[in-house]
Amino acid sequence: MTTEDDARAAVAAERECLAERFGVFEVTTTRVENDPSFYEHGLDLVREAGMLADAGAVVRDSRDRVLLVRHPDAPETWGTPGGGYEAADDSLAATAVREVREETGVRCEVTDVLAVRVKTIEHSEEPRSYPMLTTDFAARSGDESSGARSEQPASAIDDEEILEARWFVDPPATLHDRMRDLLGQ
């Protein structure tokens, strides 16, 4: 079996795990063509982690505020905390929880699947491809069981991936693409 086949099998298995835990959800699909070197770079990531995937979470607290972050590559827009799947993670849900904690300092628990996308990465010069799986989860901040106030997001000063993390009652107008759909607005 090739690495591409391994990636397809890993994505299929992860989708099954998501369905077992969260039930039925819609999956959107897209295709993108990559030049040979970028394609091979993606395959290197597949070899390291077993699949090319990322996950994020729309985290809400007991006051129904949403936790959003700003990144240096798009400092004027807000999005959800999230990032790449690592082989040490058990699942995409674990990836989302880890990324929220790393990027904001907030503990959360995943409660549902909001969106799943499978992007087929195609080699621009050969008939080869592999999938990338992106999952957006709904999550509640860790304050729900204790009744305490929501944790304040950690200052992002020491994290070069995050400019700012903040709770919002009303999300700002400057949201990343797809955020309005994820937030149900």
DSSP per position, the chain: --HHHHHHHHHHHHHHHHHHHH----EEEEEEEE-HHHHHHHHHHHHHHSSEEEEEEEEE-TT--EEEEEETTEEEEEE--EEE--TTSSSHHHHHHHHHHHHH---EEEEEEEEEEEEEEEESSSS-EEEEEEEEEEEEEGGGTTTPPPPPPPPGGG-TT-SEEEEESS--S-B-TTHHHHTT-
- Model confidence at 143, pLDDT cuts 50, 70, 90, reads low
Determine the pLDDT at residue 1: 59
- Model confidence at 176, pLDDT cuts 50, 70, 90, reads confident
- Model confidence at 180, pLDDT cuts 50, 70, 90, reads confident
Q: What is the pLDDT of residues 51-89, one digit of tens each?
A: 899 999 999 999 999 999 999 989 999 999 999 998 877
Q: Which architecture does CATH list for 3-169?
A: Alpha-Beta Complex (3.90)
- Model confidence at 94, pLDDT cuts 50, 70, 90, reads very high
